[in-house]
Amino acid sequence: MLVVSIVVGGPVLFGAAQTEIPRALWIVLFGVLLVALFLAAARERPSAVGRAAWAVAVVTAWTVVSTAPGMGLLPVLLVVVAAVSVYIVPLRVGLGVVVLNTVVIAWATAQQSGDTGATTLTSGFYLLIQLATLFSSVSLLREQRMRRELTEAHVELQAASVLLSESARTAERLRISRDLHDLIGHQLTVLALELETARHRDGEQAREHVERANGVARELLATYVRRWVSCGSNPWTWPPR
Protein backbone atom coordinates (compact mmCIF):
# COMPACT_ATOMS: atom_id res chain seq x y z
CA MET A 1 0.00 0.00 0.00
CA LEU A 2 2.92 2.34 0.68
CA VAL A 3 4.27 1.66 -2.79
CA VAL A 4 0.87 2.42 -4.32
CA SER A 5 0.71 5.64 -2.30
CA ILE A 6 4.11 6.76 -3.59
CA VAL A 7 3.13 5.93 -7.18
CA VAL A 8 -0.12 7.95 -7.10
CA GLY A 9 1.75 10.89 -5.55
CA GLY A 10 4.46 10.72 -8.19
CA PRO A 11 3.10 13.43 -10.54
CA VAL A 12 3.21 16.05 -7.78
CA LEU A 13 6.48 14.77 -6.34
CA PHE A 14 8.23 15.17 -9.69
CA GLY A 15 6.57 18.46 -10.61
CA ALA A 16 4.16 17.11 -13.24
CA ALA A 17 1.13 18.48 -11.33
CA GLN A 18 0.58 21.74 -9.52
CA THR A 19 -0.61 22.25 -5.95
CA GLU A 20 -2.54 25.02 -4.21
CA ILE A 21 0.09 25.18 -1.47
CA PRO A 22 3.88 25.36 -1.86
CA ARG A 23 5.05 22.11 -3.39
CA ALA A 24 7.70 21.66 -0.69
CA LEU A 25 5.01 21.87 1.99
CA TRP A 26 2.85 19.41 0.04
CA ILE A 27 5.78 16.98 -0.18
CA VAL A 28 6.33 17.29 3.58
CA LEU A 29 2.66 16.54 4.23
CA PHE A 30 2.84 13.61 1.83
CA GLY A 31 5.86 12.25 3.71
CA VAL A 32 4.02 12.66 7.02
CA LEU A 33 1.13 10.71 5.51
CA LEU A 34 3.38 7.83 4.48
CA VAL A 35 5.10 7.69 7.87
CA ALA A 36 1.76 7.79 9.68
CA LEU A 37 0.37 4.99 7.51
CA PHE A 38 3.47 2.91 8.18
CA LEU A 39 3.24 3.43 11.94
CA ALA A 40 -0.48 2.62 11.92
CA ALA A 41 -0.14 -0.53 9.81
CA ALA A 42 3.02 -1.82 11.51
CA ARG A 43 1.24 -2.49 14.81
CA GLU A 44 0.07 -6.08 15.23
CA ARG A 45 -2.59 -4.99 17.74
CA PRO A 46 -4.51 -1.71 18.10
CA SER A 47 -2.68 0.74 20.34
CA ALA A 48 -2.72 4.40 21.25
CA VAL A 49 0.26 5.04 18.98
CA GLY A 50 -1.42 3.26 16.07
CA ARG A 51 -4.69 5.17 16.51
CA ALA A 52 -2.86 8.49 16.76
CA ALA A 53 -0.82 7.70 13.65
CA TRP A 54 -3.94 6.71 11.75
CA ALA A 55 -5.72 9.92 12.78
CA VAL A 56 -2.75 11.91 11.49
CA ALA A 57 -2.88 9.90 8.25
CA VAL A 58 -6.58 10.71 7.81
CA VAL A 59 -6.11 14.46 8.23
CA THR A 60 -2.98 14.68 6.08
CA ALA A 61 -4.64 12.57 3.36
CA TRP A 62 -7.55 15.02 3.24
CA THR A 63 -5.10 17.94 2.98
CA VAL A 64 -2.95 16.29 0.32
CA VAL A 65 -5.94 15.36 -1.88
CA SER A 66 -7.78 18.68 -1.51
CA THR A 67 -4.72 20.83 -2.28
CA ALA A 68 -3.85 19.14 -5.60
CA PRO A 69 -6.24 20.45 -8.29
CA GLY A 70 -5.16 17.92 -10.90
CA MET A 71 -5.77 15.04 -8.52
CA GLY A 72 -5.36 12.16 -10.94
CA LEU A 73 -5.28 9.02 -8.80
CA LEU A 74 -4.54 10.82 -5.52
CA PRO A 75 -7.93 9.78 -4.01
CA VAL A 76 -6.43 6.27 -3.86
CA LEU A 77 -4.64 7.58 -0.74
CA LEU A 78 -8.05 7.86 0.92
CA VAL A 79 -8.81 4.29 -0.12
CA VAL A 80 -5.58 3.16 1.56
CA VAL A 81 -6.50 5.06 4.73
CA ALA A 82 -9.92 3.37 4.77
CA ALA A 83 -8.36 -0.06 4.28
CA VAL A 84 -5.96 0.42 7.20
CA SER A 85 -8.78 1.56 9.50
CA VAL A 86 -10.06 -1.99 10.15
CA TYR A 87 -6.81 -2.84 11.95
CA ILE A 88 -6.91 0.29 14.11
CA VAL A 89 -10.48 1.36 14.94
CA PRO A 90 -13.97 -0.20 15.05
CA LEU A 91 -15.79 -0.74 11.76
CA ARG A 92 -18.31 2.05 12.41
CA VAL A 93 -15.46 4.56 12.73
CA GLY A 94 -13.98 3.31 9.45
CA LEU A 95 -17.35 3.72 7.73
CA GLY A 96 -17.58 7.26 9.08
CA VAL A 97 -14.15 8.06 7.65
CA VAL A 98 -15.25 6.59 4.29
CA VAL A 99 -18.15 9.05 4.24
CA LEU A 100 -15.85 11.97 5.10
CA ASN A 101 -13.33 10.82 2.49
CA THR A 102 -16.10 10.84 -0.12
CA VAL A 103 -17.08 14.38 0.88
CA VAL A 104 -13.46 15.49 0.45
CA ILE A 105 -13.28 13.85 -2.99
CA ALA A 106 -16.57 15.44 -4.04
CA TRP A 107 -15.42 18.89 -2.89
CA ALA A 108 -12.01 18.57 -4.59
CA THR A 109 -13.58 17.31 -7.83
CA ALA A 110 -16.15 20.13 -7.81
CA GLN A 111 -13.40 22.66 -7.28
CA GLN A 112 -11.48 21.24 -10.22
CA SER A 113 -14.18 20.69 -12.84
CA GLY A 114 -17.37 22.36 -11.59
CA ASP A 115 -19.32 19.63 -13.36
CA THR A 116 -21.99 18.10 -11.11
CA GLY A 117 -22.18 14.92 -13.17
CA ALA A 118 -18.43 14.36 -13.08
CA THR A 119 -18.37 15.12 -9.35
CA THR A 120 -21.14 12.61 -8.66
CA LEU A 121 -19.57 9.94 -10.85
CA THR A 122 -16.09 10.35 -9.34
CA SER A 123 -17.40 10.47 -5.77
CA GLY A 124 -19.59 7.40 -6.29
CA PHE A 125 -16.75 5.50 -7.93
CA TYR A 126 -14.33 6.11 -5.06
CA LEU A 127 -17.06 5.47 -2.50
CA LEU A 128 -17.62 2.00 -3.94
CA ILE A 129 -13.87 1.32 -4.03
CA GLN A 130 -13.50 2.40 -0.41
CA LEU A 131 -16.40 0.22 0.73
CA ALA A 132 -15.12 -2.78 -1.23
CA THR A 133 -11.62 -2.35 0.17
CA LEU A 134 -12.90 -1.81 3.71
CA PHE A 135 -15.09 -4.92 3.77
CA SER A 136 -12.42 -7.00 2.04
CA SER A 137 -10.01 -6.02 4.80
CA VAL A 138 -12.65 -6.90 7.41
CA SER A 139 -13.09 -10.34 5.83
CA LEU A 140 -9.34 -10.88 5.72
CA LEU A 141 -8.98 -9.84 9.36
CA ARG A 142 -11.77 -12.19 10.44
CA GLU A 143 -10.22 -15.05 8.49
CA GLN A 144 -6.86 -14.44 10.16
CA ARG A 145 -8.54 -14.36 13.57
CA MET A 146 -10.42 -17.60 12.86
CA ARG A 147 -7.22 -19.29 11.67
CA ARG A 148 -5.45 -18.18 14.84
CA GLU A 149 -8.30 -19.44 17.04
CA LEU A 150 -8.38 -22.72 15.12
CA THR A 151 -4.63 -23.15 15.62
CA GLU A 152 -4.95 -22.43 19.35
CA ALA A 153 -7.83 -24.90 19.64
CA HIS A 154 -5.79 -27.54 17.80
CA VAL A 155 -2.85 -27.05 20.18
CA GLU A 156 -5.15 -27.27 23.20
CA LEU A 157 -6.73 -30.44 21.79
CA GLN A 158 -3.32 -32.02 21.30
CA ALA A 159 -2.32 -31.10 24.86
CA ALA A 160 -5.57 -32.56 26.21
CA SER A 161 -4.97 -35.74 24.20
CA VAL A 162 -1.47 -36.11 25.67
CA LEU A 163 -2.78 -35.54 29.20
CA LEU A 164 -5.60 -38.04 28.66
CA SER A 165 -3.18 -40.64 27.32
CA GLU A 166 -0.84 -40.12 30.27
CA SER A 167 -3.77 -40.33 32.68
CA ALA A 168 -4.87 -43.60 31.08
CA ARG A 169 -1.36 -45.04 31.44
CA THR A 170 -1.20 -43.99 35.08
CA ALA A 171 -4.60 -45.53 35.78
CA GLU A 172 -3.53 -48.76 34.08
CA ARG A 173 -0.32 -48.91 36.11
CA LEU A 174 -2.34 -48.51 39.29
CA ARG A 175 -4.72 -51.27 38.19
CA ILE A 176 -1.84 -53.59 37.38
CA SER A 177 -0.27 -52.82 40.74
CA ARG A 178 -3.52 -53.69 42.52
CA ASP A 179 -3.90 -56.87 40.48
CA LEU A 180 -0.35 -57.92 41.30
CA HIS A 181 -0.97 -57.25 44.96
CA ASP A 182 -4.26 -59.14 45.00
CA LEU A 183 -3.10 -62.10 42.89
CA ILE A 184 0.48 -62.58 44.08
CA GLY A 185 0.30 -61.19 47.59
CA HIS A 186 -1.48 -64.25 48.99
CA GLN A 187 0.96 -66.71 47.41
CA LEU A 188 3.94 -64.74 48.65
CA THR A 189 2.50 -64.72 52.15
CA VAL A 190 2.02 -68.49 52.00
CA LEU A 191 5.56 -68.91 50.66
CA ALA A 192 7.01 -66.83 53.49
CA LEU A 193 5.05 -68.75 56.12
CA GLU A 194 6.11 -72.14 54.74
CA LEU A 195 9.77 -71.11 54.72
CA GLU A 196 9.53 -69.66 58.21
CA THR A 197 7.89 -72.85 59.48
CA ALA A 198 10.53 -75.01 57.78
CA ARG A 199 13.23 -72.99 59.50
CA HIS A 200 11.89 -74.08 62.88
CA ARG A 201 11.39 -77.76 61.98
CA ASP A 202 13.83 -80.59 61.51
CA GLY A 203 14.07 -83.54 59.22
CA GLU A 204 11.09 -84.72 57.25
CA GLN A 205 8.74 -82.04 58.60
CA ALA A 206 11.04 -79.28 57.44
CA ARG A 207 11.37 -80.94 54.05
CA GLU A 208 7.59 -81.07 53.71
CA HIS A 209 7.28 -77.33 54.28
CA VAL A 210 10.14 -76.64 51.89
CA GLU A 211 8.38 -78.69 49.20
CA ARG A 212 5.21 -76.70 49.72
CA ALA A 213 7.15 -73.45 49.46
CA ASN A 214 8.78 -74.75 46.30
CA GLY A 215 5.37 -75.53 44.81
CA VAL A 216 4.07 -72.08 45.59
CA ALA A 217 7.17 -70.50 44.04
CA ARG A 218 6.81 -72.60 40.88
CA GLU A 219 3.15 -71.68 40.63
CA LEU A 220 4.01 -68.01 40.89
CA LEU A 221 6.74 -68.34 38.26
CA ALA A 222 4.59 -70.30 35.81
CA THR A 223 1.32 -68.48 36.27
CA TYR A 224 2.35 -64.85 36.58
CA VAL A 225 5.98 -64.01 35.97
CA ARG A 226 6.38 -65.95 32.71
CA ARG A 227 3.02 -64.78 31.39
CA TRP A 228 3.86 -61.20 32.32
CA VAL A 229 7.11 -61.47 30.35
CA SER A 230 5.12 -62.94 27.45
CA CYS A 231 3.02 -59.77 27.38
CA GLY A 232 6.14 -57.99 26.06
CA SER A 233 5.60 -54.31 25.34
CA ASN A 234 1.82 -54.60 25.63
CA PRO A 235 0.99 -54.35 29.34
CA TRP A 236 -2.67 -53.78 28.51
CA THR A 237 -3.13 -57.56 28.26
CA TRP A 238 -2.60 -57.84 32.02
CA PRO A 239 -3.72 -59.82 33.93
CA PRO A 240 -2.64 -62.81 31.82
CA ARG A 241 -5.30 -65.33 31.03
Give the pLDDT band (50/70/90) at residue 56.
Answer: very high
Q: Mean pLDDT of all residues in the chain?
A: 80
Is pLDDT larger for residue 241 or for residue 52? 52
Whether 233 has a pLDDT exceeding 50, the answer reads: no
> 74 Cβ partners below 8 Å, 6+ apart?
8, 9, 12, 64, 65, 68
Please report, for the chain, the start and end positions of each structural domain, with discontinuous segments joined by +.
Answer: 2-114, 173-237
The pLDDT of 19-45, averaged and rounded, is 84
Q: How many CA atoms lie within 13 A of 109 on its CB side?
A: 22
Query: Over the range 71-104, which residues count as b (16 or more CB within 10 Å of their CB) and which as e?
Result: beebbbbbbbbbbbbbbbbeeeebbebbeebbeb
Cα–Cα distance, 44 to 221 (Å, whole number): 67
Task: Report the pLDDT value the prediction gives residue 167, as an integer from 0 to 100.
Answer: 85
Is pLDDT larger for residue 206 or for residue 155? 155
Task: Determine the Cα angle at 60 with ends 44 and 81, to 5°.
Answer: 40
Query: What's the predicted TM-score (pTM) here?
Result: 0.60
Is pLDDT larger for residue 194 or for residue 25? 25
Going by C-alpha positions, the residue among 118, 115, 74, 81 that lies closest to residue 98 is: 81
> 58 Cβ partners below 8 Å, 6+ apart?
81, 97, 100
Task: Determine the Cα angle at 137 with ends 36 and 51, to 5°.
Answer: 30
